[in-house]
Amino acid sequence: MDTVESIRLPAALPAIADATRQLRFLYASDLEFGPLLRMLAASKPGGHLLEIGTGTGVGTAWLLDGMDATARLTSVERNADVQAVARKHLGDDRRVTFVPGDAREFLQAQAADSFDLVFADGGPGKITDTELALRLVKPGGVYIGDDLRQHLLQDDGRAARVKAFEAKMLGLTDFAVVKLDWASGVVLATRRA
């Protein structure tokens, strides 16, 4: 396993991590997962990226670290307290727009095929309302769903819901899909052109 020291961190990440600890926010992306986000973001120069569930901005920081100067990122979050951390540490970056509010409403309001990368990491667009997020992915674009592994704090029905989500993703014919039993457990899907 990589050590913290061996991973080049986005500049804002240590301060975001401190604030995340202080808030006792337990749902930030794990460290191993970050470089994957950064790598995928770097594959979309000039792209429009979407993060569903900003949290405190850990994933946001990794995505921004991979994006080129012309790419844009939209990040949606319904919890203003956690999103405030991301705004404080990343809000000066003109490539990112933080959207407050419910992601389901946001997803419903977007045009189909409007994002080059969708990172589904909070509420709708992953285990529930998967299609709402998938329909936004452009041909050649990437969908990322993480946290497939069991979580200490999960409720009783979550394991079955995750299994159903995985089966749905692996059954898609209009996406090329791979499941990685790595980090928090990830599914990656690229919409076929």
Ligand X SMILES: C[S@@+](CC[C@H](N)C(=O)[O-])C[C@H]1O[C@@H](n2cnc3c(N)ncnc32)[C@H](O)[C@@H]1O
Q: Which residues bind ligand X (CB under 6 A)?
A: 27-29, 51, 53-55, 58-59, 76-79, 82, 102-104, 121-124
Nearest to 187 by CA among 36, 60, 15: 36
Q: Please state the closest distance from residue 76 (CB atom) to ligand X, in A.
A: 5
Task: Specify the residue, 106 or 175, whose C-beta has the smaller distance to ligand X.
Answer: 106
Task: Specify the residue, 117 or 139, whose C-beta has the smaller distance to ligand X.
Answer: 117
User: Would you tell me the crossing angle of helices 13-23 and 80-90 to the nearest 10 degrees?
Assistant: 160
Q: Please state the closest distance from residue 173 (CB atom) to ligand X, in A.
A: 28
The residue of the chain with the least Cβ separation from ligand X equals 122
Q: Please state the closest distance from residue 1 (CB atom) to ligand X, in A.
A: 19
Task: Specify the residue, 76 or 192, whose C-beta has the smaller distance to ligand X.
Answer: 76
- Paired sense of beta strands 115-120 and 96-100, if any: unpaired
The type of residue at 157 is: G
Backbone angles phi, psi at 120, to 5 degrees: -90, 105
Q: State both tokens at 189.
A: 């899907």
Task: Specify the residue, 104 or 161, whose C-beta has the smaller distance to ligand X.
Answer: 104
Task: Specify the residue, 81 or 174, whose C-beta has the smaller distance to ligand X.
Answer: 81
CA 17 to chain centre: 17
Q: Please state the closest distance from residue 17 (CB atom) to ligand X, in A.
A: 10
Number of H helices, E strands in the chain: 7, 7
Q: Please state the closest distance from residue 3 (CB atom) to ligand X, in A.
A: 20
Task: Specify the residue, 28 or 50, whose C-beta has the smaller distance to ligand X.
Answer: 28
Name the strands in the sheet holding 96-100, side by side, starting at the edge strand that comes first in the sequence: 96-100, 72-77, 48-52, 115-120, 137-145, 186-191, 175-180
b/e sequence 62-96, b meaning 16+ C-beta within 10 Å: bbbbbbeeebbbbbbbbeeebbbbbbebbeeeeeb
Q: Please state the closest distance from residue 55 (CB atom) to ligand X, in A.
A: 3
